[in-house]
Structure 1
Amino acid sequence: MSVRVRRVYEPPESADGVRVLVDRLWPRGVSKAEAHIDEWPKALTPSTELRHWYHSGAGSYDEFARRYEAELAAPEAAELLEHVRELARSGAVTLVTAVKDPDESHASVLARLLSP
């Protein structure tokens, strides 16, 4: 099982495997052809309210991760999380995001939850 996180602005690599966009909005300045996205499960992304709360600076990354994990327990998100986990069991999966700091973002929370 291989799950990694990459920014959408980095050129795709053959080692990426299935590329899953984990942002709710399409990244600016990147065409669909350039991004090489295989799946875009929008319901797997943080809610608009949680994104706004976190980006306002009101809370810590740890609190954001806790709240996001709670959102991922909802049935639709849990089903999509399991789908991506199945993809990772079959081969490499790259979680693609436009965030500037992937290490302190929802993408790193997803990668942690998807890793064995």
Structure 2
Amino acid sequence: MEIKIKRVYEAPSRQDGKRILVDRLWPRGISKEAGKIDLWLKEISPSNELRKWYDHDIEHWKEFKQRYWKELRSNLEGVRKLKDALDVKIITFLYSSKNLEYNNAIALKEFLDR
């Protein structure tokens, strides 16, 4: 299985496979149909408290990942739902952050790769 990362505002592609939105908040201006979103797993996204603390500050990136992974390890039901969704050859995690290098989709993929 291959997991890709893509900003939800980028045009959908046939090469995306199953498209899973991994943000807690629905992206502004995107409909499920227009975004070709197959599944929204907000329960595996960072908590509101963690999301607000991080606030896309790359100085907090390392600590953000550690805190997020701790949340994931204690979120057995959410992680089970995610693993159940990984049932196809290609998966694309969708996120809405403007930061292409430091976002929860990347942290989630790193968590799964470990």
* Both proteins in one fold, TM over 0.5: yes
Matches within 5 A, 1:34-73: 34-55=34-55, 57=57, 60-73=60-73
Give the secondary structure class of the aligned counterpart of 1:80: helix
Q: In the alignment, which residue of structure 2 is the partner of 1:112?
A: 110
Matches within 5 A, 1:6-21: 6-21=6-21
Give the secondary structure class of the aligned counterpart of 1:104: coil
Q: In the alignment, which residue of structure 1 is the partner of 2:96?
A: 98
Query: Offset at 1:56?
Result: 7.3
Question: Does the alignment pair 1:83 with 2:84?
Answer: yes
Sort the Cα spacing of 1:56 and 1:37 in 2 relative to 1 into closer, same or farther, 3 A: closer
More helix by share: 1
Give the secondary structure class of the aligned counterpart of 2:77: helix
Identity over aligned residues, as a percent? 39
Letter in 2 for 1:14: R
Give the TM-score taking structure 1 as reference length. Answer: 0.87
Cα deviations across residues 39-95 of structure 1 (Å, max 9, x unaligned)? 1111110000000000074961000000000000122223133224x32xx310000
Residues 5 and 106, structure 2, Cα contact 8 Å, conserved in 1: yes
Give the secondary structure class of the aligned counterpart of 1:61: helix
Structure 1 runs (4+) greater than 4 angstroms displaced: 56-59
Letter in 1 for 2:105: A
Query: Offset at 1:111?
Result: 1.6
**RMSD after superposition:** 1.9
Give the secondary structure class of the aligned counterpart of 1:50: helix
**Count of matched residue positions in the alignment of Structure 1 and Structure 2:** 113
Distance in 2 (alpha carbons) for counterparts of 1:115 and 1:5:
13
Give the TM-score taking structure 2 as reference length. Answer: 0.89
